[in-house]
């Protein structure tokens, strides 16, 4: 048996991240399960809420935007209310996935002070667990979307198989942001405060209720700076409009999001030593 | 961070005999008056460095630990003793790896399981079952291993149906039961226990002690307490922490005595008077009665207790308002004894000379076994509570305690004597002598327990219907 130094520097490479995920896969799985089930614990309908929530949201947004505001989708989409609902829903799923993780990020470590101070817990997996739970809910919503497409359009485009490829960079990107915010939130409690406002801003500044093409050309390029824009647009192309993804753009986006993930992870690993002192 | 030494690669130790090695460990807490200062500290010193200016500090320093070094060998049980705020818990947290040291290094060899404070690492929203799985997983057990041990853990914790309730509904005792049950079943090499056991009831504490004594045969234990009795009974050696520095380390018996002295000194100041020479007449030249003569043909299991030495100049402390001048054991007739038989009546006489006038003096004693555990003792307080004696300077006072000496298991024993003044609750120690009298029990008919009491009658007969 070799000597270990419990205070050796935490590894920051993506390989060490992959190792950690493999080593702690059972723990991650158990905690995601706990988190998903725990949310509805004590409620009568239980997991059914995972289905009901997206359906209710979809109904409300469709009503408000297409009936009350009489909003029209930009040129290429069909103008029917059902098509509008489907297009909005795609955006909602992606926005929901990101904001669920984003909202909880600053309190991830703060809310689990026990794991920092009382046991030697693999803290780096907390953002993965939080994202895992968000992914589960996104998957349920996606199932609802698939059924809605089948019911309304009577067929699925073969581009469905590309969905994991489009979602993967979003997952990387979200993880990177979550690591970053989780660590910052410990040192600066203020980080949690503007998150709610930012979420609302993100909802309207992302092409959820409208396509990017509906904007004047000079705003379109600014819009592309929003990390969600590309993913939402690509998902619509593939799922509803039946086109192939923009491979070049997707490749570049994946590289950037991997970089974001690595920076976020490295930052988290570098700063985690101080967590116990601050909490 | 200034003064921060980066830890290098893990040292490969030539010897595998050491379980924990702590070298030059210091821990600084940065205390910020305003949360904004933390941010300033994070940014400005770096900026000033870039511009070649002296970095400015935005925090006050608090050194919780400074320059701590010690080693724990494999299989050893080491106690860490110290008052509240002496840095015990900080040290344990650093050894376990939850806190980072500012300077110095820690190396550990083997799987560490820690019981730090109540319900270590339990998530209050999770059920007991979930917390067990979670904790076991954090400690490195696979799902299959945890499942295999789960029933044992539940049986050890013995908290009934509460295992499926969220741990926030647990009492502190139940929390400790479950936490201890988990760390007892993860095949740890090193156990770190932080005075949490005091919360459990007597049955559970006994169960834990049985487990710990069994574990001690192979494993390493680091045990933290401010209670000298539990340190003495569990640990061979002890480290005494005071204000973040190692005050002393060594055999737990010696350390706990010194700790106790310091405790009294801190309360009443250090004694300054010089010792009064013990009177010559108390020299053991007086012929002592040997009751062996009376029992010449007694059984070979007779509990002979031999007085080994009388040492009034041994380790002592006190304010010095009075000095103990003689301690002797006598038979019923008042003859000094050099040999006692367990079960016979003896009288312990303690004489003291007053240096100052003292009101309500109290003289007391207790008998300790070789581990320093107090077996029994008494003092004069209750008997003279209503009619306190004035003890004027220069006078000599004598206290006599007549009792039946219990039959003692073979081993070394000692009598600690002390003179104080005041009441049972609030008193000043004037002179306290550790181990004023030591004696040895050779053979004994005592079958079980730490001491035997005279049996009224023992009967074994067949019952006829």
pLDDT digits (tens, 9 = 90+) for B336-362: 777 777 777 888 889 888 888 888 889
How many other β-carbons are positioned within 10 Å of the β-carbon of residue B316?
24
pLDDT higher than threshold 70 for residue B444: no
C-beta atoms of A5 and B38 within 8 A = no
Query: How far does the CA of residue A36 sit from the closest CA of chain B (Å)?
Result: 13
Angle at which helices A81-104 and A195-205 cross, to 10°: 150
Tokens 């409620």 belong to which residue?
A: A43
pLDDT of residue A261: 94
pLDDT of residue A136: 92
**Is the Cβ of B31 closer than 8 Å to some Cβ of chain A?**
no
pLDDT band for B166, please (50, 70, 90 cuts): confident
Residues of chain B by 3-state class (helix, strand, coil), percent to 5: 25, 35, 40
Sign of CA dihedral B413, B417, B422, B426: negative
Pairwise CA distance, residues B289 & B335, whole Å:
6
**Is the Cβ of B100 closer than 8 Å to some Cβ of chain A?**
yes
pLDDT band for B276, please (50, 70, 90 cuts): very low
pLDDT of residue A277: 81
Q: Once rounded to an integer, what is the mean pLDDT over residues A232-246?
A: 86
pLDDT higher than threshold 80 for residue A46: no
Task: Check residues A204 and B57 and name the one with the higher pLDDT.
Answer: A204
pLDDT higher than threshold 90 for residue A262: yes
With contacts defined as CB-CB under 8 Å, which chain A residues touch B182? none
pLDDT band for B167, please (50, 70, 90 cuts): confident
- Strands B411-422, B374-379: pairing is unpaired
Q: Among A74-88, B137-151, B179-193, which stretch is predicted with the lowest mean pLDDT?
A: A74-88
Query: How far does the CA of residue B2 sit from the closest CA of chain A (Å)?
Result: 15
Average pLDDT, chain A: 85
Residues in chain B: 465
pLDDT higher than threshold 70 for residue B287: no
Q: Which of A137-146, B138-147, B302-311 has the highest mean pLDDT?
A: A137-146
pLDDT of residue B270: 56
**Is the Cβ of A277 closer than 8 Å to some Cβ of chain B?**
yes
CA atoms within 13 A on the CB side of B20: 27
Q: What ipTM goes with this model?
A: 0.73
Query: How far does the CA of residue B86 sit from the closest CA of chain A (Å)?
Result: 17
Q: How many CB pairs under 8 A join A and B?
A: 109
User: What one-character-per-residue DSSP string does A47-74 give?
Assistant: THHHHHHHHHHHHHHHIIIIIIS-----
Pairwise CA distance, residues B431 & B236, whole Å:
27
Beta bridge partners of B414: B368, B438
pLDDT of residue B286: 43
Task: Check residues B166 and A118 and name the one with the higher pLDDT.
Answer: B166
CB A24 within 8 A of CB B142: no
pLDDT of residue B304: 67
Going by the DSSP 8-state scheme, the letter that residue B20 receives in this structure is E
- Strands B358-359, B322-330: pairing is unpaired
Residues in chain A: 279
Pairwise CA distance, residues B350 & B417, whole Å:
8
Which residues between 209 and 268 in chain B have a beta carbon less than 8 angstroms from any beta carbon of chain A?
none
Q: Once rounded to an integer, what is the mean pLDDT over residues A188-214?
A: 86
| pLDDT more than 90, % of chain A | 24
**Is the Cβ of A201 closer than 8 Å to some Cβ of chain B?**
no
For the record, the structure tokens of B36 come out as: 């904004």
User: pLDDT for B224-275, tens place per residue?
Assistant: 877 777 788 788 888 888 888 888 888 888 888 888 888 777 766 655 444 4
Pairwise CA distance, residues B261 & B367, whole Å:
17
With contacts defined as CB-CB under 8 Å, which chain A residues touch B138? 27, 119-122
pLDDT of residue A20: 86
User: pLDDT for B67-77, tens place per residue?
Assistant: 888 888 888 88
pLDDT band for A168, please (50, 70, 90 cuts): very high
Query: Strand order in B190-194's β-sheet?
Result: B112-115, B190-194, B220-225, B77-81, B237-242, B245-251
Q: Which of A155-169, A174-188, B275-289, B451-465 has the highest mean pLDDT?
A: A174-188
Q: Once rounded to an integer, what is the mean pLDDT over residues B166-173?
A: 84
Tokens 């002179």 belong to which residue?
A: B431
Q: If you measure CA to CA, which chain A residue comes closest to B123?
A: A114
| pLDDT more than 70, % of chain B | 82
Show the DSSP H helices in B165-276 as ranges: 172-184, 202-215, 228-234, 252-268
With contacts defined as CB-CB under 8 Å, which chain B residues touch A34? 126, 130
pLDDT band for A4, please (50, 70, 90 cuts): low
Tokens 């060998």 belong to which residue?
A: B73
pLDDT of residue B118: 54
Pairwise CA distance, residues A23 & A26, whole Å:
8
- Choose among B274, B433, B295: nearest CA to B355: B274
pLDDT higher than threshold 80 for residue A21: yes
Task: Check residues A134 and B382 and name the one with the higher pLDDT.
Answer: A134
Average pLDDT, chain B: 77
User: pLDDT for A95-122, tens place per residue?
Assistant: 999 999 999 999 999 888 888 887 778 8
Pairwise CA distance, residues A104 & A89, whole Å:
22
Pairwise CA distance, residues B349 & B415, whole Å:
12
Q: Which of A39-53, A122-136, A207-221, B86-100 has the highest mean pLDDT?
A: A122-136
With contacts defined as CB-CB under 8 Å, which chain B residues touch A5? 7, 10-11, 105-108
Pairwise CA distance, residues B127 & A38, whole Å:
11
User: What one-character-per-residue DSSP string does A166-188 give?
Assistant: HHHHHHHHHHHHHHHHHHHHHH-
């Amino acid at each position: 048996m070799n000597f270990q130094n419990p205070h050796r520097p935490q590894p920051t490479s993506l390989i060490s991240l992959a190792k950690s995920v493999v080593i702690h896969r059972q723990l991650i799985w158990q905690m995601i399960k706990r988190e998903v089930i725990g949310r509805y614990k004590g409620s009568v309908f239980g997991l059914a809420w995972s289905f009901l929530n997206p359906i209710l949201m979809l109904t409300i947004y469709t009503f408000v935007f297409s009936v009350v505001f009489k909003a029209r989708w930009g040129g290429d989409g069909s103008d029917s209310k059902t098509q509008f609902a489907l297009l909005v829903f795609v955006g909602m799923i992606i926005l929901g996935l990101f904001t669920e993780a984003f909202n909880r990020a600053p309190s991830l470590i703060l809310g689990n002070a026990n794991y920092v101070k009382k046991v030697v817990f693999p803290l780096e997996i907390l953002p993965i667990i939080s994202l895992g739970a968000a992914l589960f809910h996104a998957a349920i919503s996606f199932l609802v979307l698939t059924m809605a497409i089948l019911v309304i359009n009577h067929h699925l485009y073969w581009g469905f198989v590309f969905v994991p490829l489009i979602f993967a960079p979003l997952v990387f990107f979200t993880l990177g942001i979550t690591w970053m915010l989780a660590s910052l939130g410990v040192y600066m409690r203020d980080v949690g405060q503007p998150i709610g406002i930012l979420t609302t801003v993100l909802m309207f500044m992302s092409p959820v209720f409208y396509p990017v093409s509906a904007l004047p050309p000079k705003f379109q390029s600014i819009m592309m700076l929003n990390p969600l824009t590309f993913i939402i647009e690509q998902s619509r192309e593939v799922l509803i409009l039946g086109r192939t993804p923009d491979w070049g753009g997707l490749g570049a986006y994946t590289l950037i999001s991997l970089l974001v993930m690595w920076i976020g992870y490295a930052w988290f690993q570098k700063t985690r030593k101080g967590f116990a002192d601050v909490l | 961070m200034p003064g921060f030494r980066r830890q290098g690669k893990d040292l490969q130790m030539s010897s595998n005999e050491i379980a924990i090695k702590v070298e030059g460990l210091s821990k600084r807490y940065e205390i910020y008056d305003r949360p904004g200062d933390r941010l300033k500290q994070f940014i400005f010193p770096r900026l000033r460095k870039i511009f070649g200016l002296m970095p400015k500090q935005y925090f006050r320093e608090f050194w919780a630990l400074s320059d701590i070094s010690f080693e724990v060998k494999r299989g050893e049980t080491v106690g860490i003793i110290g008052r509240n705020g002496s840095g015990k818990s900080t040290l344990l947290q650093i050894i376990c790896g939850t806190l980072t040291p500012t300077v110095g290094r820690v190396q550990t060899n083997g799987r560490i399981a820690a019981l730090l404070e109540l319900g270590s690492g339990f998530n209050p929203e999770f059920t007991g079952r979930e917390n067990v799985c979670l904790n076991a997983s954090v400690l490195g057990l696979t799902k299959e291993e945890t499942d295999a041990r789960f029933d044992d853990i539940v049986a050890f914790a013995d908290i009934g149906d509460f295992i499926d309730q969220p741990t926030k509904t647990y009492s502190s005792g139940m929390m400790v039961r479950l936490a201890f049950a988990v760390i007892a079943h993860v095949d740890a090499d090193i156990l770190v226990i932080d005075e949490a056991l005091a919360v459990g009831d007597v049955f559970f504490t006994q169960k834990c002690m049985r487990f710990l004594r069994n574990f001690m045969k192979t494993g390493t234990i680091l045990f933290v307490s401010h209670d000298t009795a539990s340190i003495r009974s569990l640990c061979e050696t002890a480290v005494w922490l005071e204000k973040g520095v190692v005050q002393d380390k060594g055999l737990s018996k010696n350390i706990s005595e010194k700790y106790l002295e310091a405790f009294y000194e801190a309360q009443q100041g250090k004694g300054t008077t010089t010792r009064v020479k013990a009177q010559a007449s108390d020299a053991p030249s007086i012929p002592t009665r040997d009751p062996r003569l009376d029992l010449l043909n007694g059984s070979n299991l007779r509990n002979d207790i031999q007085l080994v030495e009388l040492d009034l100049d041994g380790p002592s402390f006190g304010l010095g308002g009075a000095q103990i001048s003689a301690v002797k054991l006598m038979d019923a007739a008042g003859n000094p004894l050099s040999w006692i038989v367990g079960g016979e009546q003896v009288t312990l006489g303690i004489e003291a000379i007053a240096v100052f006038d003292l009101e309500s003096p109290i003289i007391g004693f207790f008998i300790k076994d070789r581990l320093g555990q107090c077996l029994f003792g008494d003092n004069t307080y209750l008997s003279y509570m209503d009619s306190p004696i004035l003890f004027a300077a220069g006078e000599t006072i004598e206290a006599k305690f007549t009792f039946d000496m219990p039959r003692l298991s073979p081993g070394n024993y000692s009598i600690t004597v002390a003179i104080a003044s005041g009441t049972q609750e609030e008193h000043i120690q004037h002179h306290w002598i550790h181990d004023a009298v030591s004696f040895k029990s050779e053979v004994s008919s005592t079958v079980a327990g730490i001491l035997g009491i005279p049996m009224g009658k023992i009967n074994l007969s067949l019952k006829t219907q």
